[in-house]
Structure 1
Amino acid sequence: MNKFMQVLENVLLPVADKLNNNRYLTALRDGFMVALPLIIFGSIFVVLANLPFLDKLIGKDAYSTYQSALGPASAATLTIMGLFVIIGIGSKLTEHYGGESLYGGVAALAAFLILTPQTFEGVNGVIPTSSLGAQGMFVGILTAFIAAELYRFFTQRGWTLKMPNGVPDAVARSFSALIPITLTLSTFLIVRVIFEYLPYGSVQNFVYDVVQAPLTSLGSGLPATIVAVLLIQVFWFFGLHGQIIVNSVFDPIWYALANENLQAFQAGEELPHIVSKQFIDSFIVGMGGSGMTLAVILGIFIIGKSRQMKELGKIGAPAGLFNVNEPIIFGLPIIMNPLAFIPWLLAPVIVAVFTYFVMATGIVPPPTGVIVPWTTPTILNGALATNSWQGGVLQAVNIFIVFTIWWPFLRIMDKQYYELERSGEGSSDVNKSA
């Protein structure tokens, strides 16, 4: 076991360190964080607009009016979430280079809009919202990276307008950004014109067919999901925030899948995907935190005889109810603990496979695409994510599965701690009598 862990450490830690410090993945992660409050706001109103049985309580006409009144909340946030992510990525990457983050963000947004076809069903000057959401997500991410790099390149070359002393600082910064932004956006305009003469017709069509569709198809499958879950657990075992590292790579795929589910849900159609952002967040991470440690806390209360286990349960339970599990990860401990290695890796994978097949068979509906705040307690979390009571029941079953896997390992750990405490008390009594 020690040799195996050493091999894993030697192989994975350098990779994780590079991923964690990669400026593009960091900007991608932070860009999604910029959009997250708006995404959650829109998700809350999607839940409110689709409360179960409400149409039967107030009538179909009143229900339709009610949904129309709440509709703009999600239309102005979730439907066009790609725009907020683009601004976030552009500003964060520009900030990394020490530039004016605001101008980096708006340059990225303008570049994306230049590339986006502005026609819809034969009407000019109209941008379909699908291009600003899931379908345009990958184009937006790539555009934000390239626009921020171009803006940095032109700025660092000194191709800026220098204003005389005495000019207000805000005005000076605005004119300083003029030439870099002009050159950046002109580059994207040339790219748009070139693609209009190619078979794809637009950058969106090219990226969606060549990049986004294959990646989305891969990311929506069970094998890729198992790999992602395993990597999260392995990185955490070695003390690295596995969720942040893995999410940096998979979030664009998972969010795109969630957005497609949301569009189908709002249209009353069958949900196209099982795996999405909320599949991971609600049914893997959203049950006490990474590793679903709410079940571990439950096991501690049932099994625990040692003073260490009992105190850890008291400390970890309040935080674990809201999916914060650092007390358990560092207090049990899980990090670099050989006894925790097997259940820590095994439980989330088994739950992911079980959840996938339960949803694939129709016993529980897949997540609707609504982004539930990650601190939402278990059971309620699953019900909100799937807009059904079955989602809450599935979380309860998943907790039982994790608890069953951890049971023998927790007993061994608790026995070790108990014997150490007893031997410590015994030596202390000997010292006192001496």
Structure 2
Amino acid sequence: MNGFIDKLGEKLLPIAGKLGENRYLKVLRDAFMLAFPITMFGSIVVVLNNLPFFSDATKGTLGNLFGNGQNATMSIMTIFVTFGIGYYLSKSYDVEGIFGGAVSLASYLILTPFSMLTESGEAVTGVLSLDRLGAKGMFIGMIAAFIAAEIYTRIVKKGIVIKMPDGVPPAVANSFAALLPAIITLTTFLLLNAVVVGFFDTNLHDVIYTAIQQPLTALGSGLPATLIAVFFVQFLWFFGLHGQIIVNSVMDPIWNTLALENLDAYKAGEALPHIVTKPFMEIYTVGMGGSGSTLIVVLLLAFVMKSRQNKDIGRLALGPAIFNVNEPLIFGMPLVLNASIFIPWLIAPLVTTAFNYAMMSTEIFPIPTGVTVPWTIPVIINGIMATSSAMGGVLQVLDMIIIGVIWFPFLKLVDKVNLNTVSMAD
């Protein structure tokens, strides 16, 4: 077992290390975190407006009164992500970030159709459709932001700027310094949009959505890709690397887009289109005690195992685990590079992920609605919030039972070794 793990680690860890340090993936992660508090507010509004015991009439009234809390946050999430990409990518090149963010956002909007069709099929101009600023525009927004920020920063780095004399206030000097790079970048996008609209009679939003976003989200919402992602999260953590950060930096654009599509359907009273979304991954993996859903493991260590070492580790880790922080367990037991528990650490989340997918696909348990739930919310509560149903918490209880059954024999083995070690020492 140890030889196999070492060989596998030699092959995969260098790749994981490069992904974790990749400039663009780090920028993408930071951009989504910039949007996190705003989308969290929108999620809270959605949950409160759609509590299960409210009648449809009450939900409609609350939607009219407080619906803008969601419209101005989660429904236009691409705006915040686009600005964040421009801001953080510019900063990574030591260029003023605020202008990079503004230019990236403007570039994205240049590519966005300022028109929409009404329900009767009538074309209305001079308006922005919410779906273009939310789920449907996510990938074109990210692509446009990265390209715009790259063009902008390269122009700045080449010194193609207007330099003001000393004594000019910094705000004025920075604005003039950004003028030429901004004009060149925005002109590039304006010409690109003119070519696409004028010669091909379409827009890049629809092109990217059809050619890239739909295939990627279809792949990311499937069970095989999800199990691969969970596998790598667990595998990387085993070697002490933060699996969530590395894997999520690649998968978050897909999972967040799927969550927004679910939320749009939920608000419209339609069937939720996707099982796998960002909330699914958060609530039914991290949301049960941290990476690997280890709250039940901590409880078994603290209250079922007999060795003093296991009991102490379990009780010390219990408080953080309730709020889904399990570093005390990962590095205290330790789980890192501990071959004796490699199998349950790797297998248990894969089993429960497949189980949850099956339960939701057969409609036995509800699908997460797409609302963002803080990852520190304790188990059961977060399951109820994510699905707007008590059954979401019940499913987590079943998951923890399954995980406990998988882990128990391995923990007993570790416990026995600890007891024998103490007996020999005495």
What is the aligned partner in structure 2 of residue 68 from structure 1? 64
SS in 2 for 1:80: helix
Unmatched runs of 5 consecutive residues or more in structure 2: 118-122
Match of 1:89 in 2: 85
CA distance in 1, matches of 2:199, 2:405: 57
Amino acid at match of 2:74: L
Matched, 1:104 2:100: yes
For residues 28-56 of structure 1, the C-alpha deviation after alignment (integer angstroms, 9 at most, x for no partner) is: 0011000000111100110000011122x
Distance of 2:392 and 2:278 partners within structure 1? 15
* Kept in 1: contact 2:156–2:181 (CA 8 A): yes
Aligned to 2:120: none
Q: Judge conservation of contact 1:262–1:368 (CA < 8 Å) in 2.
A: yes
- The one-letter amino acid paired with 1:40 is M
In structure 2, what is the equivalent of residue 10 of structure 1?
A: 10
Deviation at 1:64, TM superposition (A): 2.6
CA–CA separation in structure 2 for the residues paired with 1:401 and 1:63:
36
1:48 corresponds to 2:44 = no
CA offset at residue 423 of structure 1?
A: 3.0
Match of 2:354 in 1: 353
Output aligned runs, 1:291-306, within 5 Å: 291-306=292-307
CA displacement 1:51-73 (0-9 Å, x = unmatched)? 11122xxxx55543223222111
How many residues are aligned here? 421
| Greater alpha carbon shift after TM alignment, 313-322 vs 297-306 | 297-306
1:432 corresponds to: none
Hey, what's the Cα distance between the residues in 2 that align with 1:78 and 1:419? 55
**What secondary structure does 1:167 align onto?**
coil
Equivalent residue letter for 1:2: N
Partner of 2:224: 223
Q: Residue type of the partner of 1:402?
A: I
Letter paired with 1:82? T
Q: Secondary structure at the match of 1:123?
A: strand
Cα distance in structure 2, aligned partners of 1:199 and 1:363: 46
1:222-247 C-alpha deviation (Å, 9 max, x unpaired): 00000000011111111100011000
Q: What's the Cα RMSD here?
A: 1.1
Q: CA deviation at 1:310?
A: 1.1
Q: Deviations over 1:320-367 (max 9, x none)?
A: 011000001111111100011100110000000000000001111111
Partner of 2:275: 274
Q: Secondary structure at the match of 1:263?
A: helix
Residues 64 and 229 of structure 1: CA distance in aligned 2, closer, same or farther (over 3 Å): same
TM-score scaled to structure 2, two decimals? 0.97
Contact 1:200 1:206 in 2 (8 A): no
Aligned residue runs from structure 1 range 356-395, under 5 A: 356-395=357-396
CA contact (8 A) 1:80 1:129 kept: yes
What is the CA-CA distance between 1:418 and the residue it aligns to? 2.3
Q: Which amino acid aligns with 1:67?
A: G
Aligned pair 1:113/2:76, yes or no? no
Report the equivalent of 2:405.
Answer: 404
Check the 8 A contact 1:163/1:172 in 2, yes or no: yes
5 Å-filtered alignment, 1:18-417, equals 18-55=18-55, 61-121=57-117, 122-199=123-200, 201-417=202-418
Supply the distance in 1 between the matched residues of 2:269 and 2:214 (Cα, whole angstroms). Answer: 23
TM-score computed with the length of structure 1 as normaliser: 0.95
Q: Distance in 2 between matches of 1:34 and 1:53?
A: 33
Residue 298 of structure 1 contacts residue 403 of structure 1 at CA under 8 Å; is this kept in 2?
no
Q: 1:431 — aligned with what?
A: none
| Residues 68-87 of structure 1 deviation map (CA, whole Å, 9 limit, x = unaligned) | 22211111000001111111
Q: Distance in 1 between matches of 2:160 and 2:116?
A: 38
Partner secondary structure for residue 54 of structure 1: coil
Aligned partners of 2:300 and 2:314 also within 8 Å: no
Paired residue secondary structure (2:371): coil
84-93 vs 347-356, which moves further: 84-93
Q: CA deviation at 1:392?
A: 0.4
1:200/1:383 CA distance change after superposition, 3 Å = farther
Alpha carbons 1:303, 1:411 under 8 Å: kept: no
Q: Deviations over 1:108-136 (max 9, x none)?
A: 10000001011112221111010000000
CA contact (8 A) 1:303 1:410 kept: no
Q: CA deviation at 1:419?
A: 2.3
The whole-number CA distance in structure 2 between the counterparts of 1:63 and 1:286 is 28
